[in-house]
Amino acid sequence: MKIGIFVFADMTQLDATGPLEVFSSIPGATILIVAKRKRPVDVGGLLRFVPHFDLSHCPKLDVLCIPGGSGVNALQLDDAVLDFVRRQARTARYVTSVCTGSLVLGAAGLLKGKRAACHWASLSLLAAFGAKPSKRRVVQDGKFITAGGVTSGIDFGLFLAAKFKGAFVAKEIQLMMQYDPQPPFRAGTPAQAGKRITARIVSRRKAFQAARKSIVAQAAARLLK
């Protein structure tokens, strides 16, 4: 079973490393790191991923996972990346994303009519691609499995582990990770955080979200040509 994680500049590292930690414990799974070019990819100046394959040499994957992050903006208009995603989607058992990685699946034309998750700040943008935005942390619609923002990637990893090896094995992995979230605050969603905190974040990200909305509109328009 080949699980490929696509990495790129300005990716949110936990979107990849969260599910990666789970994937690495799935019996029989081979984890492949894929990038546009076969050279190290710096992520946020903190981590460096060394890809196994570039886009043209990546084998057929059983699972393709697209993380999110600010770098997703550029990917939505990158023909080489979108062609790769479409090509892998034709034969993969599951095509997946974490956080805003679902925008890339949308830009590839894969989510029309599909329920899909995304980071709350960009969730509504999925509708431009004909997707049905969902606030759930993990959403499956056919072969497409999408996770919400950042930490949802761990939940998604365990969900996928159960798909392949059953709930018992997935629970073993969860126990070994001691994944028992008990955050000091209930502020993980806009509803929990409240209007004041949510408004502060929305205000700080106003220019970025406006730029992202514009890119989504361009990507969606390209699908109509």
Taking only the tens of pLDDT, the chain with its 225 residues reads: 999 999 999 999 999 999 999 999 999 999 999 999 999 999 877 899 999 999 999 999 999 999 999 999 999 999 999 999 999 999 999 999 999 999 999 999 999 999 999 999 999 999 999 999 999 999 999 999 999 999 999 999 999 999 999 999 999 999 999 999 999 999 999 999 999 999 999 999 999 999 999 999 999 999 998
Catalytic residue among 58, 65, 99, 118: 99
Is residue 66 within 8 Å of 97, Cβ to Cβ?
A: yes
Is residue 149 within 8 Å of 99, Cβ to Cβ?
A: yes
* Prediction pTM value: 0.97
Provide the CATH number for the domain around residue 57: 3.40.50.880
Give residue 44's pLDDT: 73
Give residue 45's pLDDT: 72
Give residue 129's pLDDT: 98
E-strand stretches of 19-154: 30-34, 41-43, 47-49, 63-66, 94-98, 115-116, 132-133, 138-141, 144-147
In the residue annotation, 65 being an active-site residue is answered as no
Number of domains in the chain: 1
Instruction: List the domain range (segments joined by +) for residue 104.
Output: 2-223
Structure tokens at 64: 């393709």
Give residue 167's pLDDT: 98
Under DSSP, is residue 155 helix (H, G, I), strand (E, B) or coil? helix
